[in-house]
Amino acid sequence: MNMKELAQKNKQYIIDLRREFHKYPEPSWKEVRTSKRIKEELDKMQIPYISVAGTGVVATIEGKNKGKTVALRADIDALQVNEANDVSYKSQNEGIMHACGHDGHGAMLLGAAKILNESKERINGTVKLFFQPAEELAEGAEKMVQEGVMEGVDGVFGIHLWSDLPCGTVSVEEGPRMASADLFKIKVVGKGGHGSLPHQGVDAVVVASAIVMDLQSVVSREISPLESAVVSVGKFVGGTRFNVIADEAVLEGTTRCFNNQIRKDFPKMLERIAKNTAASYRAEAELEYTPGTPATINEVVCSRVAEKSVEKLLGKEGIIKMEKVTGGEDFAMYLEKAPGTIAFVGVRNEEKEADYPHHHPRFNMDEDALPIGSALYAQFATDFLNEK
C-alpha cells in the first residue's frame, strides 16, 4: 500500500482531529489541551515523544535501518480572531480561532505519524515529528531550536495549508518563499507646550509624522527595484489633548524582505532617517529594532526531493507555481540549522466556501486537502531518508 492509499485510509481520522483542534483553539504558548491531545494520540500509536518549549512535542519514529534523520514540522497555535463560520466544529473559545490552518497542520502530522509508524520497514533512518507552539508570535521555532530539537537533523520539511491555491495542488519551489519579519519602535522626544503657541515647543506629533513619510524612501530610493522589501508603520501614538503640543510620540512597524543583507541593513537605514529627521525639527528619536524571523528560503535539493514526492502522490498536474509572499514564517529558524523546504498545500474551493484569506473570521478549508498533506509529510520523509 502506498502513502496516498494509507492517507485515504486514515482520512476521517485526520478530519476528525482537525475539527477537534478547530473547536478548541488555543493561542500561542497556551496550547495546553492541544498538546495533551497530541500526546494521547502518540501514546495510542506507541510512538515515543518528549515535551519541549512548554507546549511543544517532539516524537521519534525509528526506521528499520540506521541512516539520516529528517524532521517534519507542524505548528499548532491559533489566533485572536472571533470566528464567523456557522459549522458544527465552530470555535468554543470566545475570541480565539484557528484562522490560519494550524489545526490542519497538527492533524496532518498525526496522520503522517500513523502512516510512517505502519511503514517503518520501508524507512532507512529516523523521523522526528515537531509539534510546535507559538508560530503566530514568531517565537516557537526559536525556542524549539534553543532546546536542541535540531541536533542531528539532516533535513527538515514543513507544510502550510494555503487558501490561495486550489485543493489538489502543491507548491514546493526552491528559493525565497516567505519574507523576513522584524519589528521596530521609534520613540520621538520633543518639547511640550500650549497648542496656541507651537513655537514655544517642539511638536513630537509633527516630527513623528515626518519620520513616517521619510521612511517611505527606504524602499523606493535605497533598495534595488529588483528586490522585494516592505517598511510599514502600523501604529502611531502621540499627544494627550487637542490643545497640547505633544512632547512624545511612538511609532511601531515592521520590515519585510527576502535578502539577508538588506535585513541586516534595515536597522541602520531606519535609525539614520529617524534621528536625522528628528534633528531637523529640533527633536530626538531613538530606534528599538527587534529581530523576528529570517526569510524562509527553500533549499534546492530538498525542494527537488519534495517535488518528486508531490508527483508520486498527485502527478505532475498536482504541482503549481506560486509567487513568494511577504508574510513571515518562523519555519525559517529550522532552515538556519539544516537544509529543508516548506510546501504550500492548496485548500481553496469556492463551492465549499473555502475561499477566504488567512486570518479572516470566515477562513476555512477544503478538508480533502488534509490526507494530501499527511501523505506528503510521509512521502517526503521516506524519499529523503531513502535517497542515496
pLDDT tens-digit profile of 83-128? Answer: 999 999 999 999 999 999 999 999 999 999 999 999 998 899 999 9
Containing 257, the helix (H) or strand (E) segment is: strand 248-257
Span 292-303, pLDDT tens digits: 999 999 999 999
DSSP 154-194: -EEEEEEEEEEEETT-EE--SEEEE-EEEEEEEEEE-B-EE
Q: Provide the percentage of residues in the chain whose pLDDT is more than 70.
A: 99
Span 221-231, pLDDT tens digits: 999 999 999 99
CATH number of the domain bearing residue 186 = 3.30.70.360
Pair 246, 171 in one domain: no
Q: Provide the percentage of residues in the chain whose pLDDT is more than 90.
A: 97
Tell whether pTM > 0.75. yes
Pair 142, 268 in one domain: no
Exposure string for 125-150, b = 16+ CB within 10 A, e = fewer: bbbbbbbbbbbbebbbbbbbbebebb
Pair 16, 62 in one domain: yes
Pair 92, 126 in one domain: yes
CATH number of the domain bearing residue 17 = 3.40.630.10
Average pLDDT, integer, range 47-72: 97
Pair 245, 158 in one domain: no
Pair 24, 141 in one domain: yes
The pLDDT assigned to 387 comes to: 82
Choosing from 263, 293, 323, the residue where a domain stops is 293
Pair 208, 101 in one domain: no
Pair 247, 265 in one domain: yes
Average pLDDT, integer, range 307-325: 97
The type of residue at 145 is V
Choosing from 293, 324, 353, the residue where a domain stops is 293
Pair 258, 173 in one domain: no
Pair 289, 299 in one domain: no
The pLDDT assigned to 1 comes to: 61
The type of residue at 340 is G
Span 231-244, pLDDT tens digits: 999 999 999 999 99
212 SS3 class: helix
The pLDDT assigned to 355 comes to: 96
Q: Which domain holds residue 273?
A: 180-293
> At 97, phi and psi to the nearest 5?
-150, 145
Instruction: Judge whether 303 and 113 are in contact, CB under 8 Å.
Output: no
Q: How many domains in the chain?
A: 2
Neighbour-count burial of 52, counting CB atoms closer than 10 A to its CB (0-12 exposed, 13-18 middle, 19+ buried): buried
